[in-house]
Structure 1
Amino acid sequence: MPAGPQTRATIATELTRLGVRQGETVLVHASLSSFGWVCGGAVAVVQALLDALGPEGTLVAPTQTMGNSDPRHWSRPPVPEEWWPVIRDTMPAFDPRITPSIGIGAIGELVRLWPGAVRSNHPHASFAAVGPAARELMAEHRLDSHLGEHSPLAALERAGARVLLLGVGFHSCTAFHLAEYRVPAPSTEFGAAVLTEDGGREWITYRDVATDSDDFAALGESFESTGAVTRGRVGQAVCRLFEVDKAVAHAVGWLPLNRTHT
């Protein structure tokens, strides 16, 4: 027989059983479909996360907008080369207030829209946060530091935050990308439409680390073997909970020895 329905209360209880603590800061990556049937869908899940964290806790989620990028790099799907100038000239500028996230799921997008949410100002790799530490964590997000030392990811590490993978694997572990900034890594050119100081828009180019998550599943398996990961279930979702700083430290040691591509 299928499992019973998941609710705000059952999810909050199971998050607490997994080890989520009142008052802490958690970076969540989640797949709504992995929970099974949830009464209230993404709203109930976000409510449950906030319940488990309590009023002094802070919930953070990636709210990336990689569609606002140079079309010459697009492959899923690609677009004709003759379209590229039009896209660069007309792509709406990233606006943290209104630009929707892409490809990060319903739960992350709902965190962005949650009352009181604060979003970092990066045209590709923004995060959103809800809770007392939100503004401080989102304050710095330098253009040439998607997921590096001058990003909310590094701020989360300094704050002693933990990562919560809800029904997703280590391939979704953004924290590992911070390690790529700390080991030799290639850089590449990025493009994006951004707001200007006078409220207009412009297309800009800049260079940053060329991050790559293709081997994060193997990296995660190695990290989990150290015993630093708490694993359990919330609803039907297989979940993992671990500290950002421990994940980054492990990745810094693992990547130079094991990365099979650059």
Structure 2
Amino acid sequence: MQTLPHTAVTLAADLRTLGLSAGDAVLVHSSMRAVGFVAGGVQAVVEAFLDVLGPGGTLVVPTHTPTNSDPAGWRNPPVPATWWPVIRERSPGYDPARTPSRHMGVLPEVVRAWPGALRSTHPHVSFAALGARASVFVGDHPLAEGLGEGSPLGALYREHGKVLLLGCGYDRNTSLHLAECRQPRPAMTGYGAAVREPSGGSRWVTWTAPVADASDFARIGEAYEAGGEVRIGVVGSAEARLMAQRSVVDFATAALSERGLRPS
């Protein structure tokens, strides 16, 4: 049990000890339950990040909307085929300002709604960013590049950003999907989602992109960590892992290729 509540000040100190610095761009995957009790809750957590990153840094979070997808592929739970046309035609449609993230945790939702935050336009795998280079990371996000070179993940790679796993494992490390997309012949599949029109209506859009499969990510992450490239520490009550995104993506790209994974 915690002896005292964590605060924005103590969390900022933990982040600095871990290796996060002013001016960094960092993609954060998080479990607030693992962080423990924080005076001020998730607002204080965001303020701790902003304090550490400073005016030149950028906080990036996944704000995905996985339920905005083709109902024909839903399995947990499935819906009747007679519902599919209604869902496709009548869903309000993704809007960066209105549509909440789903299954990403509370931190991304708070960052998404924070004053000055920007969010990418992808209707299925959007990201939000807050800070000096926010537009660099989320300003352009083509449909077919959900997790590829043209996505915020690709921008983070080019900008030498970092990844922080805060109370969660490598299975949540979205950047490894960029490694999937870099395979010579990645398995491809079709996607669909509703998008809100400026008029207030919605339209159904479809695209083709590599299959996103995180089943090997834990194993790849453990192998990468064994090489000593990961800073491991405690932030609040959570075990945290900080790494260079470019380094872990390069490692995963080679690992997937050498093991013959993701055949087309």
TM-score interval, normalised by the smaller of the two chains: over 0.9
Residue 237 of structure 1, CA deviation: 0.3
Q: Which amino acid aligns with 1:224?
A: E
Q: Which amino acid aligns with 2:37?
A: W
Question: CA separation in 2, counterparts of 1:98 and 1:197?
Answer: 12
Q: Percent identity?
A: 47
Question: CA separation in 2, counterparts of 1:170 and 1:77?
Answer: 26
Q: Which runs of 5+ in 2 are unaligned?
A: none
Q: Structure 2 vs 1, CA of residues 194 and 170 (structure 1 numbering), >3 Å: closer, same or farther?
A: same
> Pairwise mapping of residues 45-56 of structure 1 onto structure 2 (< 5 A)?
45-56=45-56
- Would the aligned equivalents of 1:3 and 1:36 in 2 still touch at CA under 8 Å? no
Q: Secondary structure at the match of 2:61?
A: strand
Question: CA separation in 2, counterparts of 1:43 and 1:196?
Answer: 31
Q: Which amino acid aligns with 1:20?
A: L
Question: CA separation in 2, counterparts of 1:214 and 1:236?
Answer: 27
> Which residue of the partner structure matches residue 212 of structure 2?
211
> Which residue of the partner structure matches residue 154 of structure 1?
154
Aligned length: 262
Q: Secondary structure at the match of 2:52?
A: helix
> Which residue of the partner structure matches residue 181 of structure 1?
181
1:191 paired with 2:181, answer no
> Which residue of the partner structure matches residue 19 of structure 2?
19
The TM-score with structure 2 as length reference comes to 0.95
- Would the aligned equivalents of 2:42 and 2:110 in 1 still touch at CA under 8 Å? yes
Q: Which runs of 5+ in 1 are unaligned?
A: none
- Would the aligned equivalents of 1:121 and 1:141 in 2 still touch at CA under 8 Å? yes
Residue 260 of structure 1, CA deviation: 6.3
Q: Secondary structure at the match of 2:145?
A: coil
Question: CA separation in 1, counterparts of 2:67 and 2:21?
Answer: 35
The TM-score with structure 1 as length reference comes to 0.96
Q: Deviations over 1:158-189 (max 9, x none)?
A: 01100011101000001100011111311111
Q: Secondary structure at the match of 1:144?
A: helix
> Pairwise mapping of residues 1-262 of structure 1 onto structure 2 (< 5 A)?
1-183=1-183, 184-196=185-197, 198-258=199-259
Residue 236 of structure 1, CA deviation: 1.3
Question: CA separation in 2, counterparts of 1:122 and 1:197?
Answer: 15
Q: Deviations over 1:77-133 (max 9, x none)?
A: 221222111111111111111110000000011110010001111000110000010
